[in-house]
Amino acid sequence: MAKRVLTTESGAPVADNQNSATAGVGGPILLQDQHLLEKLARFNRERIPERVVHARGSGAYGYFEVTDDVTGFTRADFLSAVGKRTETFLRFSTVADSLGGADAVRDPRGFALKFYTDEGNYDLVGNNTPVFFIKDPIKFPDFIHSQKRDPFTGKQEPDNVWDFWAHAPEATHQITWLMGDRGIPASYRHMNGYGSHTYQWTNAEGEAFFVKYHFKTNQGVRSLSAEQAAELVGKDANSHQTDLLQAIERGVNPSWTLYVQVMPAAEAADYRFNPFDLTKVWPHADYPLQRVGRLVLDRNPDNVFAEVEQAAFSPNNFVPGIGPSPDKMLQGRLFAYADAHRYRLGVNHTQLPVNAPRTAVVDNYGRDGLHATRNGSRHDKNYEPNSYAGPAQTDAALAAPLAIHGWTGTHEAPAHAKDDDFFQAGELYRLMSEDEKGRLVANIAGGLSQVTRDDVIEKNLAHFHAADADYGKRVEKAVRALRED
């Protein structure tokens, strides 16, 4: 085999990669040592900004295979036939901590999935929880500030975490979920994924449905107790990465079964609570799970930076037959992600291999910008309409229209008959076994009791009381006991 030659970035051979050039033996370094200058300068630029949330993550490639006919609900091509396979990339993540954090912590997990479909990439950017802490995107930056490291102390502060929650009664359901047994997954393989939001599907006849996605892990749900997690973090801060990487390298390919809940669009207006409220689940008794297909992860990326760090998911990447619902959180996210990518990766992030479509062909009039690699040829016009047979619109609506009425203004989402912030937190609590309730109460009390202000503690206690009398009583007792210690 021919010996490979080390080169500079411009391809010239490197004579010496061990000794920099100096003015005489023992003299100062020469500015003309191009290889040294380039090497040091490149090294200085290896890092890009970390994601403002979900900074720590692990990714893998795989495929999605349709197992059941859902063409009655959507005309999405990648779901159009049983047996159809679509290549995917999935990035899992923790949410609150920075890149230097640990995996086995109490935190939701991201479940961001890219389907490389024949009609363009479809990004479903979900979590391992079916609900979220807030229901209006205008609160998101404040929420995240309160959960991430404090700008003065440089660490997460129970005072900030619980002060935000004291002012966000709608978070009670998600807090109950997070502080319960599923709050620390044993690994990325042992947790479910949820689209969380309500999305809209449109079938070939133009009929609209609202859907919620559930990816159920076929490995079984496994979680860690707070004590097990603390021990594991000390042994391997990258425990989730280790587990996923090694499983796939061994050929033990993790898989999930996708189910959807489907609501005919006409039922949304009179449903007993707002079906677009991200802090609530739809009871399965109302809308049962219907199986769609199987997601399998079978290939590790070759390079974590190129493929995991540079992966860019945007909830506004839809394909024909799938679109947004009026969920205000989702609407906010339709803006936030691509904007984040333009800052973090640049305007041409969609041209990076992990983000570029695989089978769909990109053909448009977007040009130029930093690091553009796809700029058309001398035969391609950069304006439209044109007389040169350039790409043209299809005139086929991507999703069914939504009926809108009312006045502009800063409105709360419309209240339905049964809309309150607490009843589903209470229902979740009452579903738990006695042992589970005990662990939930201990986890909440462990955090809440560290808060320095009594009024913040009282406001939070009121939320647990409102969810369920027993729940409130037990949290209150546990918090008071810890504070008297």
Residues that bind ligand HEM (CB under 6 A): 51-54, 57, 91, 93, 110, 112, 125-127, 132, 137, 140, 196, 311-313, 329, 332-333, 336-337, 340-341, 344
Can you tell me the distance from the alpha carbon of 66 to that of 306, in angstroms, rounded to the nearest whole number?
29
What kind and span of H or E run contains 64?
strand 57-66
SS3 assignment, position 299: strand
Contact assessment for residue 342 and residue 217, using Cβ atoms and an 8 Å cutoff: no
Minimum CB separation from ligand HEM for residue 134, in Å? 7
Residue of 35, 121, 127, 300 marked catalytic: 127
Can you tell me the distance from the alpha carbon of 107 to that of 179, in angstroms, rounded to the nearest whole number?
9
Contact assessment for residue 160 and residue 144, using Cβ atoms and an 8 Å cutoff: no
Phi, psi of 40 (to 5 degrees): -70, -40
Minimum CB separation from ligand HEM for residue 189, in Å? 16
Can you tell me the distance from the alpha carbon of 251 to that of 121, in angstroms, rounded to the nearest whole number?
26
User: For ligand HEM, which is the closer residue by CB, 50 or 207?
Assistant: 50
Minimum CB separation from ligand HEM for residue 368, in Å? 23
Nearest Cα neighbor of 287 from 305, 254, 260, 247 is 260
Minimum CB separation from ligand HEM for residue 50, in Å? 8
Residue of 35, 54, 190, 349 marked catalytic: 54
Can you tell me the distance from the alpha carbon of 213 to that of 258, in angstroms, rounded to the nearest whole number?
7
Minimum CB separation from ligand HEM for residue 241, in Å? 13
Minimum CB separation from ligand HEM for residue 126, in Å? 5
Query: Which residues touch 286 (CB under 8 Å, ≥6 apart)?
Result: 271
Can you tell me the distance from the alpha carbon of 107 to that of 96, in angstroms, rounded to the nearest whole number?
7
Nearest position to ligand HEM, beta carbon:
110
Residue type, 227: E
SS3 assignment, position 257: strand
**Could you say which DSSP state residue 219 is in?**
T
DSSP states of 162-225 as a string? HHHHHT-GGGHHHHHHHHSGGGSBS-GGGS-EE--S-EEEE-TT--EEEEEEEEEETT---B--
User: For ligand HEM, which is the closer residue by CB, 115 or 132?
Assistant: 132
User: For ligand HEM, which is the closer residue by CB, 126 or 180?
Assistant: 126
Q: Provide the sign of the torsion angle of the four alpha carbons 242, 243, 244, 249, taken in this order.
A: positive
Contact assessment for residue 198 and residue 325, using Cβ atoms and an 8 Å cutoff: yes
Can you tell me the distance from the alpha carbon of 79 to that of 69, in angstroms, rounded to the nearest whole number?
8
DSSP states of 83-135 as a string? T-EEEEEEEEEESSS-TTS-SSSSS-EEEEEEEEETTEEEEEEEESSSS-S-S
Show the tokens assigned to 225. Answer: 């107790």
Name residue 93's beta-bridge partners.
Answer: 57, 110
User: For ligand HEM, which is the closer residue by CB, 275 or 472?
Assistant: 275
**Cis peptide bond N-terminal to 385, omega within 30:** yes
54 included as an active-site residue? yes
349 included as an active-site residue? no
Number of H helices, E strands in the chain: 12, 10
User: For ligand HEM, which is the closer residue by CB, 79 or 311?
Assistant: 311
Minimum CB separation from ligand HEM for residue 472, in Å? 27
Residue type, 371: H
Minimum CB separation from ligand HEM for residue 125, in Å? 5
Nearest Cα neighbor of 136 from 332, 276, 273 is 332
Active site residues: 54, 127
